[in-house]
C-alpha cells in the first residue's frame, strides 16, 4: 500500500531555539508559526517485505548514507508507533529549497510522518502525528496543522505533552508572507547544530529563555485580536533576539549575509514611510517579510528593486496535512 502525503512549511513568529532533550526533540521553549501555502513537500511511502533496509530518494536522487540513516532512524519511531515491522521505500519531492532556511525539515518530516503512518495502515490523531513529526525535526510538529499554530513545549520527560495545536485556522486572519530569497545555498550550520552550540555556550541564551514566554503570550493575544501591528512588532523583536544569541556562542556564528541586512534595512525604511511590514529570519540568510494582503504588491515591488534580491515568493496562510492518494 503506497501512500502519499503533502505537508506545507511554516515560518516561526516565535522561534523554537534550543532542546532540553535531543533524542526526543523536546524544546526549551514553546513556539508559534504560520503555515505557508506556497512551499510544501510531497512524500510517498511503501512498506515492502523484500527490502533489507529503508530506501530514500529526495527530488528523484538517492541521498547520502548519513541522510538515509537519519530518515531510517525516524522510521524506526514510526515502526514502534504503528507496530509495522517491514522496511519501506520513501520518495520525497521538496517544492521548497532544501536546507537553506526555508524550513524543508518542517514540511519534510511532517509529510513523512503522515505518509508512513498511513502506509502502515494505522489511524493517528493530529496530535499523535505532531508528536511523531517532532521527532524528525522540531519545527515539523507545527506543519501538521494549517493556520496559526503553537507548539507547546510540554513538561513530561516522555514528550507525550509536547505537540502543536492550531490557534487560528487559515482563512481567519489574512496575512501575507513575502519569502525573500537572497541565497539558496545549503547552510553551513544546520539548525540542529546551531541551536545546540548556542544552548551549550552562549551567555545570551539565558536572556532568551527568560523572555521568550512573554513574547509568546503577547503575540497570541495580538493574533487572537487580529492586531497586525502588535503581532509584527513582537515577531521582529523575537527574531532579532534569537539571532543575537548566536553571536555569543563559542565559536560564534551568524546566519545573516550582507544581503540579509539590506532587506532588513529596506523593511525598516518602508515602515518609516508608513508601509506596514515586519521581518523574520530562520536559520539561514533569507528573509520573510510579513505584511497585509493590501500592502503586499507595493512592498513586493520595493523589495524586488534591491539588487541582492534573487526571487520573491508571495505566500499566504496555508493548510495542514493532506493525502494525495
Positions touching ligand DP6 (CB under 6 A) are 12, 15-16, 25, 31, 105, 137-139, 191-192, 282-283
- H helix or E strand, kind and range, residue 206: helix 205-224
Distance CA 62, CA 59 (A): 8
Q: Say which entry of ligand DP6, ligand ADP, Co ion, none residue 92 contacts (CB below 5 to 8 A, set by partner kind).
A: ligand ADP
Give the nearest distance from C-beta 17 to Co ion in angstroms: 12
Query: Considering the rule CB under 5 A, would residue 191 count as an interface residue with Co ion?
Result: yes
Residues of this chain, 186-225, that bind ligand ADP according to CB under 6 A: 190-191
Rounded-to-integer distance, Cα 265 and Cα 259, Å: 10
Hey, which residues between 80 and 99 contact ligand ADP (CB under 6 A)?
Answer: 92, 94, 98-99
Residue 144 in contact with ligand ADP, rule: CB under 6 A: no
CA distance 268 to 287: 13
CB of 143 to ligand ADP, least distance (A): 10
Helices 258-272 and 296-304: angle between axes, nearest 10 degrees: 140
Question: In Å, how far are 21, 51, 68, 161, 260 from 154, measured between CA atoms?
Answer: 12, 37, 30, 5, 34
Residues across the chain: 325
- Cα torsion angle, 164, 166, 167, 173, sign: positive
- We find the least distance from the C-beta atom of residue 195 to Co ion, in angstroms, to be 10
Q: In whole angstroms, how close is the CB of 304 to Co ion at the nearest point?
A: 26
Work out whether 105 is an interface residue with Co ion (CB under 5 A): yes
Chain residues that interact with ligand ADP, rule: CB under 6 A:
41, 58, 67, 70-71, 92, 94, 98-106, 108-109, 112, 137, 190-191, 282-284
Amino acid at each position: 500500500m503506497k501512500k502519499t502525503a503533502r505537508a506545507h512549511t511554516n515560518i516561526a513568529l516565535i522561534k523554537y531555539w534550543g532542546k532540553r532533550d535531543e533524542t526526543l526533540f523536546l524544546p526549551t521553549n514553546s513556539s508559534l508559526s504560520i503555515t505557508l501555502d506556497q512551499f510544501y513537500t510531497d512524500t510517498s511511502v511503501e512498506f515492502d517485505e523484500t527490502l533489507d533496509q529503508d530506501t530514500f530518494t529526495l527530488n528523484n536522487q538517492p541521498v547520502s548514507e548519513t541522510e538515509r540513516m537519519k530518515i531510517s532512524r525516524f522510521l524506526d519511531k514510526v515502526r514502534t508507533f504503528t507496530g509495522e515491522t517491514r522496511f519501506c521505500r520513501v520518495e520525497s519531492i521538496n517544492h521548497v529549497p532544501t536546507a537553506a532556511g526555508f524550513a524543508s525539515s518542517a514540511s519534510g518530516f511532517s509529510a513523512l510522518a503522515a505518509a508512513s503512518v498511513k502506509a502502515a495502515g494505522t489511524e493517528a490523531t493530529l496530535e499523535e502525528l505532531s508528536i511523531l513529526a517532532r521527532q524528525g525535526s522540531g519545527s515539523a510538529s507545527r506543519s501538521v496543522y494549517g493556520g496559526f499554530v503553537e507548539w507547546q513545549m510540554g513538561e513530561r520527560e516522555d514528550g507525550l505533552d509536547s505537540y502543536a495545536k492550531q490557534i487560528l485556522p487559515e482563512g481567519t486572519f489574512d496575512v501575507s508572507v513575502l519569502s525573500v530569497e537572497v541565497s539558496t545555498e545549503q547552510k553551513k550550520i544546520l539548525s540542529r547544530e546551531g541551536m545546540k552550540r548556542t544552548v551549550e555556550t552562549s551567555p545570551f541564551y539565558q536572556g532568551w529563555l527568560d523572555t521568550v514566554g512573554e513574547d509568546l503570550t503577547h503575540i497570541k493575544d495580538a493574533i487572537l485580536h487580529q492586531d497586525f501591528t502588535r503581532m509584527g512588532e513582537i515577531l521582529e523583536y523575537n527574531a532579532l533576539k534569537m539571532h543575537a544569541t548566536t553571536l555569543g556562542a563559542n565559536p560564534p556564528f551568524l546566519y545573516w549575509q550582507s544581503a540579509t541586512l539590506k532587506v532588513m534595512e529596506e523593511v525598516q525604511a518602508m515602515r518609516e514611510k508608513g508601509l506596514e511590514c515586519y521581518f523574520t529570519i530562520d536559520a539561514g540568510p533569507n528573509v520573510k517579510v510579513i505584511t497585509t494582503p493590501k500592502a503586499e504588491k507595493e512592498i513586493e515591488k520595493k523589495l524586488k528593486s534591491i539588487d541582492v534580491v534573487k526571487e520573491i515568493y508571495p505566500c499566504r496562510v496555508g493548510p495542514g496535512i493532506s493525502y494525495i492518494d
